Amino acid sequence: MPKIEEEIKSMLRLDEPTKYKVLLHNDDYTTMDFVVEILMTIFHKNILEAEKIMLTIHKQGKAVCGIYTYDIAQTKVYQVKELAKSNGFPLLATVEEA
């Protein structure tokens, strides 16, 4: 009987879902204050984390804002796009496999 239990356990094993990084990209039009606001509202960063990520985006051209499952990462990108568009900014968010 133990062999059957082992087979059942191995059949029921769940794999971790693939994770995806959400990145924000620097541009010449989006204000630093707006990027900080995005990081706080959409990515739930505190002010210090948001400012640190914003400066990384500014200096290095892009930065990771969070790591999520695929659907959540895509939702975050959509939220950034819509909020940026409604405020007149071309802020770009992308997804990469982690």
**Per-residue pLDDT in tens (0 to 9) along the chain, 98 residues:** 556 666 666 666 778 899 999 999 999 999 999 999 999 999 999 999 999 999 999 999 999 999 999 999 999 999 999 999 999 999 999 999 99
Closest alpha carbon to 98 in 65, 72, 68: 68
Q: How far apart are CA 43 and CA 17, in angstroms?
A: 20
Sheet bearing 19-25, strands edge to edge: 62-69, 19-25, 92-97
Q: What's the pTM value of the predicted model, to 2 decimals?
A: 0.85
Structural domains in the chain? 13-97 (3.30.1390.10)
